[in-house]
Amino acid sequence: MKRYELEWRTEFTDYRKVGEQAAIEGHSTYRTKHSAPLAGNNYYRLKVVDEDGKFDYSEEKVVKILANQDVVIYPNPANRDVTIKLGYVSANAKLTLVNSIGKSVFEGSINGVATYSFPVTSLVPGVYFVRITELGKAIVSLPLIIAH
């Protein structure tokens, strides 16, 4: 075995390579990330390339990407409760509310839900940043204004 290539297509395109990793003796698990899947059905297969250039393909797998995975915060400005709408069901996201000097003033876990709400009545009015981190996803940081 020389290398593994991850190939991707949609319903309207041909396969193209989106990732590659050299084979490592003794390893049976590899990871790669497709940074630009499209909304809808995304089809993947693994191309296994031997030292002599011959290759085989794995069975095709489909991954459905929801059209709207943008994070929405409302109301903004807020005075009582804030709701975070992720646009997908989170497996294990961490929410951190950071004040204007960079100090964390609230932390919460978002697990198995797409919407999370928390109170802001005890916070001083001002500009904050909502930071959402989740393994395998880009960090999201959005402004939030608290006005009582």
For every one of its 148 residues, what pLDDT tens digit does the chain have, with 9 covering 90 and above?
899 999 999 988 999 999 999 999 888 888 888 878 887 788 999 999 999 999 999 999 988 776 555 788 999 999 999 999 987 778 889 999 999 888 999 999 999 888 999 999 999 999 999 999 988 777 888 889 999 7
Bridge partners, 62 (sequence order) = 43
| pLDDT value at residue 91 | 83
Where along the chain do its domains lie? 3-65, 72-146
| pLDDT value at residue 67 | 59
User: Against a cut of 0.95, is the pTM above it?
Assistant: no
Alpha helices of 7-133 — where are they, by DSSP H? none
CA distance 105 to 72: 20
- Multiple choice CATH, 72-146, 3.30.479.30, 3.40.50.300, 2.60.40.3080, 3.30.70.3150: 2.60.40.3080
Q: Residues 63-67: contacts with CB within 8 Å, 24+ apart?
A: 63/37, 64/40, 65/37, 65/38, 65/39, 65/40, 66/39, 67/39, 67/40
| pLDDT value at residue 27 | 83
